[in-house]
Structure 1
Amino acid sequence: MKEITASELEKRLDEGQHVNMIDVREDDEIATGKVIGAIHIPLGEIPARLDELDKTKPYTLICRSGGRSGRAAEFLEEEGYDVTNMTGGMLSWQGPIE
Structure 2
Amino acid sequence: MSSIGPGRLDERRADDDVFVLDIRPDSEYQGDHIRGSYNAPVYHDLRDGAVDALDPHLDTLPEQAEIVTVCKAGIVARTATDYLESEGYDATTLTGGYAGWRQYERNTVLYRLAALVRRLAPR
* TM-score bracket, shorter-length normalisation: 0.7 to 0.9
Q: Residue 54 of structure 1 aligns with which residue? A: 62
Could you say what secondary structure the match of 2:32 adopts? Answer: coil
Instruction: Give 1 or 2 for the bigger CA radius of gyration.
Output: 2
Give aligned pairs, total: 94
Normalization by structure 2: what TM-score? 0.68
Letter in 2 for 1:38: S
Asked if the contact 1:21/1:59 (under 8 Å) is kept, the reply is yes
Residue ranges of structure 1 left out of the alignment (5+ in a row): none
Q: 2: CA distance between counterparts of 1:59 and 1:81?
A: 7
- The two structures, once aligned, show a CA RMSD in angstroms of 1.7
Q: Residue 11 of structure 1 aligns with which residue? A: 11
Q: 2: CA distance between counterparts of 1:17 and 1:57?
A: 10
Q: 2: CA distance between counterparts of 1:2 and 1:85?
A: 7
Q: 2: CA distance between counterparts of 1:66 and 1:56?
A: 23
The offset of 1:76, in angstroms, is 0.5
Give the alignment of 1:8-87 within 5 angstroms: 8-13=8-13, 16-18=14-16, 19-43=18-42, 44=45, 45-87=53-95
The offset of 1:58, in angstroms, is 1.5
- CA separation of 1:91/1:2 partners in 2, compared to 1, >3 Å: closer, same or farther? same
The percent identity for this pair of structures is: 30
Letter in 1 for 2:28: E
Could you say what secondary structure the match of 2:31 adopts? Answer: coil
Q: Which has the higher contact order (CA 8 A, sep 6+)?
A: 1
The offset of 1:8, in angstroms, is 1.9
